[in-house]
């Protein structure tokens, strides 16, 4: 049985007249009659009583109406869904975020996609490191990743999102916690809580480079993978830290965020595979680019 035959059957069942049904379908009446006869032969049972005056459904025809309507409805649903996939209005997109973008960019993206692209399903992972995200893009674990730029990886393209100033994270009882800004050199001698040292781990190197530019090396480092844990350890008195300004949206008791006197910045980029991106991935990428600005 063909989908066309189901449509012809339903139209004839509604009109109970070959001429009117053929006109609605924009086909010749003999062609309609031929298709209905072929459908009846395939099913092995008459679907219509025919006379010179009227056409009406048989008992089998009345039972078949529900099946035909379901078939046509599901075919239309499939057509609409395929169109949505082709235009990027539907699909499944996996996103990964570095820890320092988890608290401001991720929630904005989730809210915006839900409001503007409700048929796109997001798989979200936050608190990841840039090397994990690059590897995830290459393996296909992530379609898009918000990360820090590092060593170039073939097969991954990067789009700039924003440049953020670094701010100091101090325990609330720190002598400098009440200042409007702090010179980085004033933190010489303090232990630093920092993201781990890994190949292509941007924040670890960026913080140590900023300290070196201020003329010192931290006497000790406490390495943690998650930004939230980093801020908690500062609150607990394990040291001080430098984080991108957007991390201030992570409000925790016991810490103070203080701007630096020096202009120390870090970039945020959007990573994606160079090839094999679906329309839905492109739609979400555009949302991320719009949500990345504070």
Q: Is the pLDDT of residue 192 over 90?
A: yes
List the beta bridge partners of residue 275. none
CA-to-CA separations, 246 to 43, 115, 148, 193, in angstroms, rounded:
66, 23, 14, 17
Q: Is the pLDDT of residue 211 over 70?
A: yes
pLDDT band at residue 269 using 50, 70 and 90 as cut-offs: very high
Residue 132 or 157, more confident: 157
Q: Is the pLDDT of residue 199 over 70?
A: no
The CATH class, in words, for 91-161+268-291 is alpha beta
In whole angstroms, what is the distance from residue 234 CA to residue 179 CA?
17
CA-to-CA separations, 263 to 157, 165, 260, in angstroms, rounded:
28, 7, 7
Pick the CATH number of 3-87 from 1.10.3660.10, 3.40.190.10, 1.10.10.10, 3.30.420.40: 1.10.10.10
Q: What's the pLDDT score for residue 216?
A: 96
Pick the CATH number of 164-266 from 1.10.3470.10, 3.40.50.300, 3.40.190.10, 3.20.20.70: 3.40.190.10
Q: What's the pLDDT score for residue 277?
A: 79
Among candidates 35, 102, 114, 23, which has minimal Cα distance to 68? 35
- CATH 1.10.10.10 domain extents, the chain: 3-87
Instruction: Give the CA angle between residues 190, 194, 198 to the nearest 5°.
Output: 135
Q: What's the pLDDT score for residue 38?
A: 92
Tokens coding 168: 């100091």
How much is the pTM? 0.67
Give yes or no for a contact between 159 and 270, defined as CB atoms under 8 angstroms apart: yes
Query: Tokens 């006497």 label which residue?
Result: 219
Question: pLDDT tens, 3-38?
Answer: 889 889 999 898 888 988 999 999 999 999 999 999
Q: Show the DSSP H helices in the chain as ranges.
A: 3-15, 18-25, 29-43, 59-87, 105-116, 130-139, 202-213, 227-235, 279-291
CA-to-CA separations, 136 to 15, 105, 113, 143, 159, in angstroms, rounded:
57, 19, 22, 8, 17
Question: pLDDT tens, 168-190?
Answer: 999 999 999 999 999 999 999 99
Q: What's the pLDDT score for residue 51?
A: 83
Residue 241 or 100, more confident: 241
Give yes or no for a contact between 85 and 119, defined as CB atoms under 8 angstroms apart: no
Q: Is the pLDDT of residue 275 over 90?
A: no
Give yes or no for a contact between 51 and 13, defined as CB atoms under 8 angstroms apart: no
Which residues neighbour 236 within 8 Å (Cβ) at sequence distance 6 or greater? 171, 254
Give burial (CB, 10 Å; 0-12/13-18/19+) of 199. exposed
Q: What's the pLDDT score for residue 90?
A: 64
Tokens coding 204: 């670890």
pLDDT band at residue 221 using 50, 70 and 90 as cut-offs: very high
- CATH 3.40.190.10 domain extents, the chain: 91-161+268-291, 164-266
For 198-222, what is the mean pLDDT?
Answer: 88
């Amino acid at each position: 049985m063909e989908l066309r035959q189901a449509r012809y059957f339903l139209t004839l069942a509604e009109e109970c007249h070959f001429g009117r049904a053929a006109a609605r379908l924009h086909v010749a009446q003999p062609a309609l009659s031929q298709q209905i006869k072929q459908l009846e032969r395939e099913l092995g049972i008459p679907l219509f009583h025919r006379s010179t005056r009227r056409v009406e459904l048989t008992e089998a025809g009345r039972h078949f109406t529900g099946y035909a309507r379901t078939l046509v409805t599901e075919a239309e649903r499939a057509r609409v869904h395929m169109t949505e996939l082709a235009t990027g209005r539907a699909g499944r997109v996996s996103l990964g975020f570095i820890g320092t973008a988890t608290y401001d960019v991720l929630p904005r993206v989730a809210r915006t996609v839900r409001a503007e692209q409700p048929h796109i399903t997001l798989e979200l992972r936050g608190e990841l490191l840039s090397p994990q995200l690059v590897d995830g893009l290459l393996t296909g674990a992530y379609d898009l990743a918000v990360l820090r730029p590092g060593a170039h990886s073939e097969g991954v393209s990067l789009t700039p999102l924003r440049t953020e100033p670094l701010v100091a994270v101090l325990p609330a009882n720190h002598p400098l916690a009440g200042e409007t800004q702090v010179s980085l050199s004033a933190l010489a001698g303090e232990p630093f809580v920092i993201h781990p040292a890994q190949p292509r781990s941007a924040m670890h190197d960026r913080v140590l480079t900023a300290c070196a530019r201020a003329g010192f090396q931290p006497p000790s480092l406490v390495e943690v993978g998650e930004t939230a844990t980093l801020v908690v350890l500062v609150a607990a008195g394990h040291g001080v830290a430098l984080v991108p300004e957007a991390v201030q949206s992570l409000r925790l008791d016991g810490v103070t965020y203080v701007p630096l006197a020096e202009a120390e910045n870090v970039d945020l980029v959007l990573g994606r595979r160079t090839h094999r991106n679906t329309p839905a991935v492109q739609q979400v990428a555009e949302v991320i680019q719009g949500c990345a600005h504070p």
